[in-house]
Amino acid sequence: MKTIEHIAIIMDGNGRWAQQRGLYRSRGHQEGYETAKKIVKAVSALKIPYITLYAFSTENWKRTTEEVGFLMRLIKKHLRAEFQFYVENNIRMIHIGNLSALPKDIQKEISDVTEKTKHHAGTAVVFAINYGGKDEIIRALQKIPADKINSITESSFSEYLDYPLPDVDLLIRTGGEKRISNFLLWQTAYAELYFTDTLWPDFTEDDLHQALQSYKHRDRRFGGIT
């Protein structure tokens, strides 16, 4: 199979999934959380080196206090509850996004799990929490010492991003919308895009395999000629 190093997912459609069933939006996020667990397990079993999940964007603060609070609790719960799973499966947890603007308890949870799993050599699960692609690029620019600005290259610039991730090979977005929504702007420069109408809570391991199958048939030229 064509190699794949990095899958990124925009897990969209939780709210609609709940609304279609006359449930609170939070119920959709709860189901979305279960889906994320299943997909991480499948990606880890496939030995794909990196999966990045868009769990909370810099724009998601615009939602109601209840929804933001629920998502924060869910993220915290996930980091705690899945720690044993990370250990058993040799998974490395990485965070990208503006950590300092997150609630203190979440910051601590993220730092703890990142530290305790940093030596794991299996799949890296990258959680984008309080993440925005433009925000990451701006914060990276602010970290570059003035005397290095003129000698910066594409590869040395990556070192200033939240984490020097490999480029995304396949970007999946569920929920029917066809846009990037400020996700991994630098890292998706040559990503293959896969959009599906399936709402995130309904996304299954079979759907993941379908996306991988589609990726397998893409002709990746990176601007060149095959």
Residues labelled catalytic: 12, 60
Provide Rg for the chain, Cα atoms: 17
Per CB under 6 A, the list member of 7, 9, 36, 91 interacting with ligand FPP is: 36
Which CB sits closer to ligand FPP, 7 or 55?
55
Q: Which long-range contacts (CB under 8 A, 24 or more apart) does 101-109 make?
A: 101/130, 102/72, 102/129, 102/130, 103/72, 105/76, 106/72, 106/75, 106/76, 109/76, 109/79, 109/80
The answer to whether the annotation marks 154 as part of a ligand binding site is: no
Question: x/- binding map, residues 65-104, to ligand FPP, per CB under 6 A?
Answer: ------x--xx--x--------------------------
CB of residue 28 to ligand FPP, shortest distance in Å: 6
177 close to 12: Cβ distance less than 8 angstroms: yes
**CA pair distance 55, 130, nearest whole angstrom:** 8
Per-residue binding letters, 167-206, with ligand FPP (x by CB under 6 A): --------x------------------------x------
Distance between CA 66 and CA 71 in Å, rounded? 9
In whole angstroms, give the CA distance from residue 168 to residue 88. Answer: 26
| Residue 163: other Cβ atoms inside 10 A | 16
| Least gap, CB of 187 to ligand FPP (angstroms) | 19
Pick the piece of the chain touching ligand FPP (CB under 6 A) from 13-21, 92-100, 150-158, 218-226: 13-21
92 annotated among ligand-binding-site residues: no
Q: Going by DSSP bridges, is the β-strand pair 124-131/92-96 parallel, antiparallel, or unpaired?
A: parallel
* Helix (H) / strand (E) containing 127: strand 124-131
Contact call for residue 14 and ligand FPP (CB under 6 A): yes
16 binds ligand FPP (CB under 6 A): yes
Q: Which residues of this protein are in contact with ligand FPP, per CB under 6 A?
A: 11-16, 29, 32-33, 36, 53, 55, 60, 71, 74-75, 78, 175, 200
